[in-house]
């Protein structure tokens, strides 16, 4: 482990004392499980792509403005923190009439659009590097088919021995449920002590894998969408890194 990495790890190596039980039984890491959004690529790129598709959809309706002002309005509200009523607020401002059914259609366009997103070079390099040395898995929450379309667009399916979309197991299996993690362990026949989970969201991503005994690693991407942490003691990741290229050093 290089000096820079060890310094970063010692700075961010939080709450290790409180979880020594899991660490005492840690064996060599054989399996690396990744989250998708804001872990392997910037989710904001997906959102931009989705709002572009929605703008084009609205612009094609009779009497609508062109796509650019619609996109600008949606983007302004989304990027200033309106994450739940983005469509409604933007349509109000644009003076476009709508009802719940129309909003439902826009949500469908967003979740079913073919995203224009690419895998960042450093993510690709790391997946290439880990592939073959570790069993790799993807465990992601989120609506289908949106998550599957993201995986296709990024071209990452080939890297993973198993992909678990928690939505397929049931809405109550989204993180922090342990069900998706148990599914990965069952499919790959791996013990939690030999597995690491790499993800971004300190509110929900690490609760279950901490409890099960995974190594947990938070990656903090500069453009990340979720910046909140959790008050729950068991929600904190065991390691925090700022570049995905720091991963191999963690696994020893
Ligand atoms: Mg994520």
Distance 229 CA to ligand 1 centre (A): 13
Distance 76 CA to ligand 1 centre (A): 22
Domain boundaries for CATH 3.40.50.1000 within the chain:
3-41+118-251
Which ranges of 116-206 would DSSP assign to H, the alpha helix?
Answer: 121-130, 146-154, 166-169, 179-188
Res 16: pLDDT: 41
Q: How far apart are CA 171 and CA 244, in angstroms?
A: 29
Q: Which of 22-36, 89-103, 219-233 has the highest mean pLDDT?
A: 89-103
Distance 198 CA to ligand 1 centre (A): 9
The average pLDDT across 208-218 equals 98
The average pLDDT across 17-41 equals 77
pLDDT (tens digit, 9 = 90+) per residue, 91-140? 999 999 999 999 999 999 999 999 999 999 999 999 999 999 999 999 99
Distance 11 CA to ligand 1 centre (A): 23
Answer whether residue 213 shows pLDDT above 90. yes
Please answer whether residues 237 and 230 qualify as being in contact, where contact means their C-beta atoms are separated by less than 8 angstroms. no
Res 3: pLDDT: 41
229 closest CA partner among 196, 247, 208, 206? 206
Distance 150 CA to ligand 1 centre (A): 13
Distance 94 CA to ligand 1 centre (A): 32
Distance 218 CA to ligand 1 centre (A): 10
Answer whether residue 7 shows pLDDT above 50. no
Whether cis (ω within 30° of 0) applies to the bond prior to 176 is yes
Please answer whether residues 127 and 159 qualify as being in contact, where contact means their C-beta atoms are separated by less than 8 angstroms. yes
Distance 78 CA to ligand 1 centre (A): 18
Distance 113 CA to ligand 1 centre (A): 19
Whose tokens are 């379309």? That residue is 149
CATH number of 44-112: 1.10.150
CATH 3.30.1360.200 fits 3-41+118-251, yes or no: no
216 closest CA partner among 10, 17, 23? 23
Distance 215 CA to ligand 1 centre (A): 17
Distance 97 CA to ligand 1 centre (A): 34
Segment among 23-27, 58-62, 109-113, 156-160 with least mean pLDDT: 23-27
The average pLDDT across 205-214 equals 97
Segment among 21-25, 64-68, 199-203 with least mean pLDDT: 21-25
Res 27: pLDDT: 80
Distance 1 CA to ligand 1 centre (A): 27
Domain boundaries for CATH 1.10.150 within the chain:
44-112
pLDDT (tens digit, 9 = 90+) per residue, 9-18? 443 444 443 3
């Amino acid at each position: 482990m290089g000096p820079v990495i060890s310094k970063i790890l010692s700075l961010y190596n939080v709450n290790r004392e409180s979880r020594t039980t899991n660490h005492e039984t840690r064996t060599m890491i054989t399996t690396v499980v990744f989250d998708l959004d804001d872990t392997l690529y910037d989710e904001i790129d997906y959102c931009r792509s989705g709002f572009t598709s929605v703008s084009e959809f609205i612009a094609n309706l009779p009497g609508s403005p062109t796509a650019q002002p619609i996109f600008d309005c949606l983007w302004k509200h989304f990027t200033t923190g309106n994450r739940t009523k983005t469509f409604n607020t933007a349509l109000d401002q644009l003076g476009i009439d709508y009802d719940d059914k129309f909003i439902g259609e826009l949500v469908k366009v967003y979740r079913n659009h073919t995203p224009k997103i690419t895998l960042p070079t450093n993510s690709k390099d790391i997946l290439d590097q880990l592939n073959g040395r570790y069993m790799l898995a993807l465990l992601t929450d989120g609506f289908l088919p949106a998550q599957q379309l993201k995986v296709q667009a990024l071209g990452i399916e080939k890297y993973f021995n198993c992909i678990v979309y928690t939505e397929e197991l049931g809405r109550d299996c989204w993180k922090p449920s342990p069900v998706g993690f148990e599914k990965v362990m069952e499919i790959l026949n791996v013990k939690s002590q030999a597995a690491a989970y790499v993800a971004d969201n300190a509110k929900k991503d690490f609760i279950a894998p901490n409890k099960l005994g995974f190594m947990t690693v938070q990656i903090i991407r500069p453009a990340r969408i979720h910046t909140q942490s959790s008050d729950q003691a068991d929600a904190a990741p065991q390691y925090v890194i700022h570049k995905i290229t720091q991963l191999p050093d963690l696994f020893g």
